[in-house]
Amino acid sequence: MTNSGAVSASWASRRPYKPGKPPRRQVRCPPSGRGAEAFQKGVQALAQYTEREGGGVPGRAHVEQFPDGTEHRTGVWIANQRARRDRLDADQLRALTELGVQWATV
């Protein structure tokens, strides 16, 4: 309150919202580069897992071994995709759905 009893509007200048700047969730970039490669590798690991196990989703601690000897932390990857599902595009969600991931239905 000011000396005159009116409420000061100085709090409005400290607000983090900036008009004209869209919220982050509305900005969507096409899948390309390192992120797209990482997603494809995760899909490949999940496909290998579901083929071998006959379906299902691996637990968080699961690590998938590729034939070339490299490892993929498939359980952590699928948990991260679920946490970021609002940022996945329709093609990515479709790929996960085809592999039996129930939360990825389009």
What are the C-alpha distances in Å from 100 to residues 9, 12, 41, 51, 89?
A: 53, 48, 17, 11, 17
Tell whether 39 is covered by a domain: yes
Tell whether 48 is covered by a domain: yes
Predicted TM-score (pTM) of the model is: 0.68
Tell whether 22 is covered by a domain: no
Give the per-residue pLDDT at 24: 44
Nearest to 87 by CA among 44, 42, 3, 23: 23
Per-residue pLDDT tens digits of the chain, which is 106 residues long: 556 555 555 555 555 555 665 444 444 445 567 888 999 999 999 999 999 999 889 999 999 999 999 999 999 999 999 999 999 999 999 999 999 999 998 6
> For residue 93, what are the domain limits?
30-104
pLDDT tens-digit map of 46-70: 999 999 999 889 999 999 999 999 9
What are the C-alpha distances in Å from 77 to residues 1, 16, 92, 103?
A: 51, 32, 13, 14
Domains identified in the chain, total number: 1
Pull the structure tokens for residue 97.
Answer: 């759905």
| Contacts for 86 with CB less than 8 Å, ≥ 6 apart | 25
Answer for the pair 72, 78: CB distance below 8 angstroms, yes or no: no
Tell whether 68 is covered by a domain: yes
Give the per-residue pLDDT at 83: 95
Give the per-residue pLDDT at 28: 45
